[in-house]
Amino acid sequence: MIFYTLSVVCFLLGIISFFKNKLSCIFAVLGSVFSIAVGILGFERSLNILNLALFQDVSLRLGIDKTSSIFLIIAFISFGIIAFYSIDFNKLFSKRMALFINISMLAMFFVLTAQDAISFLISFECITIAIFFSILERKNTYKEAFSFLAFSEVSSIALFIAFGALWAQTGSFIIANAVGNIVFMSFAYLAFIIKMDITPFHVWISSTYSKSPSNVAAILSVPVTLIGTYGIFRIFALNPNIEIFAIISILLGSVSALWGALQAARSRSLKKLPAYSTIENNSMILASLGIAYLTANTQSLQYLSQFAMLTALFIIISHSFSKTALFLSIGHAKEAFSEELIDNVGGVFKYVSKITGLGIIIAGLSLSAFPPLIGFVSDWMLLETFFQSYKIDDLSLKLIITFSGILITLAIGLSSFGMKKLIGFSALGTKTKEVINIESLTMKISEAILIFLVIALGFISPLIVIGLGYPAFLDGLLAVPKPLLIVSSRPIFGVLSPTIFAIMIFIFFVALWKLKSKEKDVKRVSPWVGGLEVLSTESFKIGAYSFIVESLLKPLNQTKEIREGDTAYVYSIDLIETFYSFITKLSNKISSFFSKTIMNSSIHWYIAYIIGAFIITLMYFKFTR
């Protein structure tokens, strides 16, 4: 309780002291530390924090259980690092930035501890509003901020309906009572997958993530989408018997993962690529949860169900830290070069900062499933989850999971393709522009912490398995001692030891380093191709790297090769965006029609509207009583 209060107090102090950016951010960091402490304590035993009766049957209830604890720890490690990063980064923006960060952190804290619909909705809306204004901190971002707001409000409306259904069934707003309520489940599911940026509700992210300040993009990618993930965990736990949602999750998750990875592979923008990668990661979580709940009610598949649940948690951890590291590092690079395209930020490692370059490399490699990083462990577990699903008896379910597994595998491959592009052209690329000096000590420290986490969490993944309460998935085999082996099936069939992997890679790395350091007289020469030095005009560009994906999947990307005189370029678009563009144009036309014909400030139409509304209301009450 004391840590809970300290967290809230720190965030409030952060809000009050927003005009002092550094102080405000320090309060945000302290608040995160206390929130993590709350999470750790809540993981040991559930806590009831507040139960405040407002009216009869209506009360505000705050508390912590195991699920909210896990999410609190993950979200506030990420949030805390973002807040520390913001000490220097916020100097590039107005002082209001610290205010919005503290508000969103406080609201997030309440979202993850809310046990009733009212406190959940209020906190949920507070995050939306704080993020909306923080997006506006970058100039000319009205369109992007409103796109975010529109999708968030659709999510809120769906939640309103879900909680309305909860009230209609139980006469209360306590979320834990929503057991077996199909209407609640349907609308809450919709609300949370929108929040997770699952395809086809993702179209706003490419422009919004791209235009937002990088710390806000990191918040959007990790803590904000964690709300959706948290919500899905909650509603599945309340309704484990509704199989159809599990199947939808597997199918939607796999299709969405592939779509996200595909768009990431196509992307040329520094922040659009990780934005699309967010869709892929969240979709993988959804698919994994789908398998966990599809198999939860079959006694013989309990091991698989639990393994799928553990997989979902691992992907959350991997996504949260790798993606935060990536957004913060590329944000640093973006500001240092004042550029948005990957092609134009070459040489981050050499010219911006080694830590920043390493941040992009390590985070990118983790998201490419490079061993022994945490992303590798989570992707291996996800594939194992799909492989082990052969144990499901039902043939149609087998076919669905096989099909989804194929899509997920393709998604992982394409994701690796996209991340290598980002690493190769930005962190390790050729410098094309002079670097702007920005004060970046806290930014570098934050990036370094995240690099450490991404590497270390892969190494200690057996400890995480134990920490999350799943020791049954650890074993030993041959030369690998117990509990360093993660086991995906019993009898043992499908194993991985990230720790041993990491040790072996470290040994090889040290051996190579030693060998290299012995060669004192190594002559360095300029790179050449075909016998001549490479000119700047001959450097491979990112468009060329992406073109193979755009060209092969022409119908999906609407790829067009444009030639205008001596200018040539490739144009492609996310196909789903064309659908939303159509909807936007249609609604603009309809609203324009209404504003010109009916709502055109004409007194006659206004009176007719009032009378019409009055008659409809009377009729309603007449026939419904």
Residue 525 near another protein by CB under 8 A: no
Which residues inside 200-259 make contact with another protein, applying CB under 8 A? none
Which residues inside 289-348 make contact with another protein, applying CB under 8 A? 341, 343
Residue from the set 522, 566, 622, 625 that interacts with another protein by CB under 8 A? 566
How many alpha carbons fall within 13 Å on the CB side of residue 32?
A: 23
**Range in contact with another protein (rule: CB under 8 A) among 237-245, 384-392, 508-516, 541-549:** 541-549
Which residue, 354 or 541, has its beta carbon nearer to another protein? Answer: 541
Count of residues touching another protein (by CB under 8 A): 27
Which residue, 515 or 562, has its beta carbon nearer to another protein? Answer: 562
DSSP string, 194-234: HHTT-TTS-TTHHHHHHHS-HHHHHHIIIIIHHHHHHHHHH
Residue 545 near another protein by CB under 8 A: yes
Place of tokens 């999750």: 249
Min dist. Cβ of residue 341 to another protein (A): 8
Residue from the set 174, 547, 575, 580 that interacts with another protein by CB under 8 A? 547
Residue 530 near another protein by CB under 8 A: yes
Residue 548 near another protein by CB under 8 A: yes
Residue 426 near another protein by CB under 8 A: no
Three-state SS at 263: helix
Nearest to 75 by CA among 39, 23, 25, 24: 39
- Please state whether beta strands 58-64 and 474-477 pair in parallel, antiparallel, or not at all (unpaired): unpaired
Min dist. Cβ of residue 570 to another protein (A): 6
Which residue, 95 or 541, has its beta carbon nearer to another protein? Answer: 541
Nearest to 193 by CA among 184, 202, 183: 202
Which residue, 86 or 572, has its beta carbon nearer to another protein? Answer: 572
**Distance (Å, rounded) from C-alpha 317 to C-alpha 222?**
10
Min dist. Cβ of residue 557 to another protein (A): 13
Min dist. Cβ of residue 264 to another protein (A): 17
Residues 6+ apart with CB under 8 A from 84: 25, 29, 442, 445, 446
| 530-561 core/surface letters (b: 16 or more CB in 10 A; e: else) | eeeeeeeeeeeebeebbbebbeebeebbebee
Which residues inside 353-382 make contact with another protein, applying CB under 8 A? none
Min dist. Cβ of residue 480 to another protein (A): 44
Residue from the set 298, 306, 430, 539 that interacts with another protein by CB under 8 A? 539
**Distance (Å, rounded) from C-alpha 285 to C-alpha 231?**
12
DSSP string, 475-534: EEETTEEEEEEEESSTTT-SEE-HHHHHHHHHHHHHHHHHHHHH-TTPPP---EETTEEP
Min dist. Cβ of residue 76 to another protein (A): 41
Min dist. Cβ of residue 577 to another protein (A): 20
Min dist. Cβ of residue 543 to another protein (A): 4
Burial of 82 from C-beta contacts in 10 A (0-12 / 13-18 / 19+): buried
Min dist. Cβ of residue 535 to another protein (A): 8
**Distance (Å, rounded) from C-alpha 387 to C-alpha 593?**
54
**Range in contact with another protein (rule: CB under 8 A) among 8-16, 184-192, 456-464, 531-539:** 531-539
H-assigned helices in 239-301: 243-266, 272-294
Residue 555 near another protein by CB under 8 A: no
Residue 531 near another protein by CB under 8 A: yes
Residue 533 near another protein by CB under 8 A: no
Which residue, 515 or 532, has its beta carbon nearer to another protein? Answer: 532
Residue 553 near another protein by CB under 8 A: no
**Range in contact with another protein (rule: CB under 8 A) among 160-168, 191-199, 362-370, 527-535:** 527-535
**Distance (Å, rounded) from C-alpha 257 to C-alpha 282?**
8
**Range in contact with another protein (rule: CB under 8 A) among 562-570, 587-595, 597-605, 616-624:** 562-570
Residue from the set 523, 538, 624, 625 that interacts with another protein by CB under 8 A? 538
- The CA R_g of the chain, rounded to the nearest whole Å, is 26
Residue 551 near another protein by CB under 8 A: yes
Which residue, 168 or 548, has its beta carbon nearer to another protein? Answer: 548
**Range in contact with another protein (rule: CB under 8 A) among 128-136, 176-184, 542-550, 581-589:** 542-550
Which residue, 548 or 610, has its beta carbon nearer to another protein? Answer: 548
DSSP 171: S
**Distance (Å, rounded) from C-alpha 575 to C-alpha 342?**
22
Task: Tally Cβ neighbours within 10 Å of residue 441.
Answer: 9
Which residues inside 567-606 make contact with another protein, applying CB under 8 A? 567-570
Three-state SS at 279: helix
Which residue, 540 or 605, has its beta carbon nearer to another protein? Answer: 540
**Distance (Å, rounded) from C-alpha 286 to C-alpha 593?**
41
Three-state SS at 361: helix
Residue 546 near another protein by CB under 8 A: yes
Residue 561's H or E segment, with its range, is strand 560-564
Residue 535 near another protein by CB under 8 A: yes
Residue 504: both structure tokens together: 């072996």
CA dist 374 to 263, 283, 315, 381, Å?
23, 18, 9, 11
Residue 527 near another protein by CB under 8 A: no
Which residue, 437 or 567, has its beta carbon nearer to another protein? Answer: 567
Which residue, 437 or 537, has its beta carbon nearer to another protein? Answer: 537
Min dist. Cβ of residue 491 to another protein (A): 45
**Residues within the interface to another protein (CB under 8 A):** 341, 343, 529-532, 534-535, 537-541, 543-548, 551, 561, 563, 566-570
